[in-house]
Amino acid sequence: MLNRKEGKIKKLLKGLLVFLFVFGLCACSNKQTGNTVEPVMSVSEFENIGISDMALPDQEGFNNISYAIINKNIAEVNFSYAQREYIHLASKDVANFKDILGIESESLSVSEFDVESMVFTINYYTEGFTGAWLKDGVNHVLFGKGLTGDDYNTFGNILTELNGIRIIVDDRVKVPDMKGWRVEAAEKWLTENNFVNVDIEHEYSDTVAENYVISNNIVGLAHPSDSIKVVISLGKKGPSEGDIIYVPDTMINWSEEKFVKALSELGMKAVKGSTTYFCTVVDKGNIFNYSDGNFPYGSSIKYHVSAGPYIFDSSDYDNITPDQAKAVADAYNNRNAHISISFYEEVTEKYPAGRTFDCTSGGNANNTIIACSVAKRNDKVNVPNYVGQSNPCGMGHASCQIGDLNYTVHYVIDGNTIGLVTAQNPSSGQVNKGTTIDLTVSEGGYYAHSLSSGYYNMFVDADPKITAENLQNAPEAFGHFTNVSVEYLNNDTATDFTDGGIARIYTWNNSGYWEDIKDGYYPADTAIRIQIYDTIFKYVNF
């Protein structure tokens, strides 16, 4: 048949096809470095690449036959015929020739085999013939090494034999073990390899995560029309209503998200407590504590998260009372802070008395020691001594406040200068602010009246008649004075006065003579003379 086309073929020799030229150049070099060649014992081993038979025609002339698989996807048969060496390559994917041919797969274009239109050419560099064709989904290349024009018909005969007689294509697909594949990857592979009878089942699994393949019933060669079952994991079987669920105690320091998810998978409800607890071994925001043990399915599990290690902040304790500061520390201790707090007084005007300030911390995160100053005033003041000085409160005042001290005034008639402080208790030293100091203040001496002060009428009307004794005891008169003399006058000399009436009262002045007494306070030893009209009395000193 090829002989009849000899003229046509020769016309095509000058129009070399790129892919045939490359095939002719490379087909005999499949054992070069970079290509993995795996010798096989028989053609049955080609099944792994989807070709069940590449046996040579059963006739004389085919000698020295060997089989191999190149790069695990190209079947190769080497043989000699009529003292010439031939190589037959086959693969189900034209791209598989890429590595050994050194070309991009898209540059290789072959047609379905038709002996009338089959094209092959002579490669003048290797002195050989190359032919390429596609049959039943398998791409083929035949290379005859060292052939000349005289071998043309022989090459054509071999091509006819190989394509028309003994090439058997296996269209089965090698199905991989999909265990551990994500469901999307398994579906994609099955779709791309034209498996249409796929049965997807779901099962719980303790070892395979949800949405991953547990198993597929066919592993190895299978026809796309075969029924294949793929089992997908539902994950671990969850608990159900009525179950008693064990909540383990191993989730301390888990992230809150992970903990809540774990409880949900157990069929429990996570309820977050409002308190965060200080902790040096549990990271901030992680689980500090929770209820563990056996609970009915669906129970609420309360948990608290860690606030991390306690960090001292002086503003928590400043400018409050010690009791309030202690309450702050107690509140933190209730959150596992481990705080001890102490106070000591310090004089300052910066804060109100009794308020905390300058709080500092020591110790460590497991035992924080806080010390706070408590403001106090200098409550001690020196007592001024007013003895011998004028009444600081002013005459007539029973009490007063001067500076940080209070004073009470006790008035006495003692013959001293009026308003003079004669005694003080306490008189010196330091006392607390607000202390009351007692002052003794002289009213100047004893009070004496002149005639114009009313003693005249009082003594005129006195009953019994005025005597030295009752004059001595007369109220607000002269009973306190120690140097009083009474002069009795004959009332005939002063007819305006009746018996017993006081005529005049004198006092001895510093100029050395008697003068009429005036209303006022006088020392007890003041010399006083009282003249009385009454002839029945004698001159008396008392």
The residue-averaged pLDDT of 454-476 equals: 44
Instruction: Give residues with Cβ within 8 angstroms of 463, minimum separation 6.
Output: none
Q: What is the pLDDT of residue 34?
A: 62
Global pTM?
0.35
3-state helix, strand, coil in the chain (%, to 5): 20, 35, 45
Q: What is the pLDDT of residue 462?
A: 40
Q: How confident is the model at residue 118 (pLDDT cuts 50, 70, 90)?
A: very low
Residue reference for tokens 């014992």: 41
Residue 35 in this model has a pLDDT that exceeds 90: no
Q: Determine which of 39-53, 169-183, 315-329, 357-371 has the lowest per-residue pLDDT on average.
A: 39-53
CB 448 within 8 A of CB 520: yes
Residue 313 in this model has a pLDDT that exceeds 70: yes
DSSP string, 294-321: EEETT-EEEEEEEEES----GGGTTTS-
Give all strands (DSSP E) within 217-275, no chain letters. 220-222, 228-233, 244-247, 269-272
DSSP 8-state code for residue 275: -
Q: Which residue has the higher pLDDT, 379 or 244?
A: 244
Q: What is the pLDDT of residue 145?
A: 77
List, in sequence order, the alpha helices (H) in 420-526. 455-460, 468-472
Tokens of 95: 């791209």
DSSP 8-state code for residue 266: T
Q: Among 101, 118, 122, 121, which residue's Cα sits nearest to residue 159?
A: 118
Q: Which amino acid is at 80?
A: S
Classify burial at 45, counting beta carbons within 10 Å of its beta carbon; exposed 0-12, middle 13-18, buried 19 or more: middle
Please give the Cα distance from 401 to 424 (Å, whole number).
15
Kindly state the percentage of the chain with pLDDT values over 90: 37
Task: Report the helix count and the strand count for the chain, using DSSP H and E.
Answer: 9, 34
DSSP string, 5-16: GHHHHHHHTTS-
Q: Among 525, 527, 485, 531, which residue's Cα sits nearest to residue 505?
A: 531
Q: How far is CA 327 from CA 274, 305, 320, 334, 339, in A?
A: 19, 23, 11, 10, 11
Q: Determine which of 142-146, 250-254, 500-504 has the lowest per-residue pLDDT on average.
A: 500-504
Three-state SS at 153: helix
The residue-averaged pLDDT of 246-263 equals: 95
CB 75 within 8 A of CB 51: yes
Strands 380-382, 430-432: pairing kind: antiparallel
**What is the H or E stretch that residue 344 is in?**
strand 339-347
Instruction: Give the number of other CB atoms < 10 A from CB of residue 259.
Output: 21
Phi, psi of 58 (to 5 degrees): -85, 80
Q: What is the pLDDT of residue 525?
A: 78
Residue 297 in this model has a pLDDT that exceeds 80: yes
The residue-averaged pLDDT of 346-372 equals: 90
Q: Determine which of 19-23, 37-41, 394-398 has the lowest per-residue pLDDT on average.
A: 19-23
Please give the Cα distance from 222 to 174 (Å, whole number).
6
List, in sequence order, the alpha helices (H) in 130-275. 152-161, 183-192, 256-265
SS3 assignment for 377-427: CCCEEECCCCCCCECCCCCCCCEEEECCEEEEEEEECCCCCCCEEEEEECC
424 DSSP β-pair partners: 439
Mean pLDDT (the chain) is: 76
Q: How confident is the model at residue 53 (pLDDT cuts 50, 70, 90)?
A: low
Q: What is the pLDDT of residue 113?
A: 40
End-to-end Cα distance, the chain: 188
Q: What is the pLDDT of residue 109?
A: 47
List, in sequence order, the alpha helices (H) in 32-178. 98-101, 152-161
Residue 471 in this model has a pLDDT that exceeds 90: no
Q: Which residue has the higher pLDDT, 39 or 475?
A: 39
Q: Which residue has the higher pLDDT, 27 or 374?
A: 374
Residue 355 in this model has a pLDDT that exceeds 90: yes
